[in-house]
Amino acid sequence: MRRLALALAASLVLAAASDRAAAADAQRGQELYESRCGGCHSLDANRVGPAHRGVYGRKAGSAPNFAYSTAVKNSTVVWEDRTLDAWLTNPQAVIPGQRMNFRVALPEDRTDIIAYLRQQSGK
Amino acid sequence: MSQVIDLRRRGLLRASGVTVLSASAVALLAGCEKMAVAQSGNTANDVGILNTALALENEAISAYQIGAQSGLLQKPVLDVAVLFQTHHKEHRDALIATIRKLGGTPVAAKSDAEVAQALNAAALKNQADVLRLAQRLEKGAANAYIGVIPSFGDRALAQVSARLAADEVMHWTVLSQALKDPLPAKALSFGA
């Protein structure tokens, strides 16, 4: 019974995430990206953080010519909806020892930012 | 008062759940020597956040330098840009001192030329372009300082992050007025 309840809860969480992804607004995501992420990131230039064009679908720590932390460089995480959502929720929980630490609190904001990054990665 | 941290005492106090380091950090960033007691946190992670903030401040200093030397800014806008650069230098110096006090190594600044390339400074053609770039960077910096607040182990440093964000918002507001942009129609336009 407990297993069934856990499975049901997990499927509800996944369904909610899936619903959010389906409703993602990449245009709003661009606005959020520019105002929230733009202090440190650009699509095509390494700044305080790495360049983001192409981030969706690539392995963490693989943007060319960016000096990553050892933790990110050694990570096996691949950036897609689920991992990016977890990363933007709490980077330290995904890759302990990373240097970003910036959090996006609202799920709908994360979803839209991820939709924009995915769009800009041609995925 | 000595500026040297007694590491044995620091370890003892951290083990007991009280941290003198946070008080030192607050004293440096707040510009006073009054010590405050704060919750113990992950110092290495806090140093990482402060170093990211330092990289951001270094970029801002370079951006204002590039703007000031561009020949595109006229007085009194030029004077304001130089004043804001001074604020960022004060942020930088406080961050470096705090990172060192916490046992970390401050990140080195990139050259102005590297920053100019990353920010596509070659595309700046007039005063409004320079102000627009500065406005964008200040808003990004304010949001960055707000966005890292939940990640600080030391709540006193989180408060300092809010103070730094307030400076960036002040810069953003002045730049927005210079650009004759409308004020935000709704409240809570910064941060999450």
- pLDDT for B62 beyond 60: yes
Q: Is residue B15 part of a domain?
A: no
pTM of this structure: 0.81
Q: Is residue B11 part of a domain?
A: no
Separation of alpha carbons A49 and A88, rounded Å: 14
Domains of chain A and CATH, by start = 25-120 (1.10.760.10)
Q: For residue range B25-56, list pLDDT tens digits in order.
A: 554 555 443 333 333 448 999 999 999 999 99
Q: What number is the average pLDDT over the span B44-71?
A: 96
Split into its structural domains, chain B has a count of 1
Q: Is residue B150 part of a domain?
A: yes
Q: Is residue B16 part of a domain?
A: no
- Residue B107: count of CB within 10 angstroms of its CB: 19
Q: What number is the average pLDDT over the span B48-74?
A: 97
**CB-CB neighbors (< 8 A) of B151 in chain A:** 90-92, 101-103
pLDDT value of position A21: 64
Q: What is the CATH number of the domain that holds B103?
A: 1.20.1260.10
Question: Looking at the DSSP assignment, which residues form a beta bridge with residue B39?
Answer: B18
Comparing A39-48, B23-32, B149-158, which segment has the lowest mean pLDDT?
B23-32
The whole domain housing B76 covers 43-178
- pLDDT for A115 beyond 60: yes
Mean pLDDT of chain B: 84
- What are the φ and ψ backbone dihedral angles of B39, each rounded to 5 degrees? -70, 145
Q: Do B143 and A36 touch (CB under 8 A)?
A: yes
A90 Cβ under 8 Å from any chain B Cβ: yes
Q: For residue range B106-148, list pLDDT tens digits in order.
A: 999 999 999 999 999 999 999 999 999 999 999 999 999 999 9
Comparing A13-27, B72-86, B116-130, which segment has the lowest mean pLDDT?
A13-27
CB B21 within 8 A of CB B94: no
Alpha helices in B16-153 (DSSP H): 20-30, 43-69, 77-101, 112-118, 127-147
A119 Cβ under 8 Å from any chain B Cβ: no
**What percentage of chain B reaches a pLDDT higher than 70?**
78
pLDDT value of position A9: 57
Q: Is residue B9 part of a domain?
A: no
Q: Is residue B111 part of a domain?
A: yes
CB A116 within 8 A of CB A33: yes
Q: Is residue B123 part of a domain?
A: yes
Q: Report the complex ipTM.
A: 0.79
Q: Is residue B147 part of a domain?
A: yes
- pLDDT for A106 beyond 90: yes
B112 Cβ under 8 Å from any chain A Cβ: no
Residues 30 to 49 of B: which have CB under 8 A from any A CB? Answer: 44-45, 48-49
A58 Cβ under 8 Å from any chain B Cβ: no
